[in-house]
Amino acid sequence: SGVINSGMTFCDFTAGYLASRITLLTNKDCIVTETKCYGTGYDYCEFKIEMLSS
C-alpha cells in the first residue's frame, strides 16, 4: 500500500466523518473507533461503531 508502519492509527478524520454521518442518519449518537489501520501494519483500516443509548 506504500504506507509506512508508524505504530499509530491515522484515520481520525475518517472516524469523525463516519460518526457524524451515522448520527445524522440515525438521529442517535455513536462512537467510531479505528481498530485496525495501515499505520499499525494491517492491510486495511477497520472501524468499530458503538451506538450510544439516548
Question: What pLDDT, on the 0 to 100 scale, is given for residue 28?
Answer: 96
Residue type at position 52: L
Q: Is 11 helix (H, G, I), strand (E, B) or coil?
A: coil
The whole-number pLDDT of residue 6 equals 87
Task: Report the chain's mean pLDDT, rounded to a whole number.
Answer: 92
Give the pTM. 0.80
List the chain domain ranges: 12-51
Structure-model confidence comparison of residues 3 and 8, the more confident one: 8
Q: Measured at the alpha carbon of residue 4, what is the angle toward residues 6 and 13, in degrees to the nearest 5? A: 70
pLDDT reading at 15 higher than 90: yes
Residue 54's pLDDT band, with cuts at 50, 70 and 90, is low
Q: Is the pLDDT of residue 5 over 90?
A: no
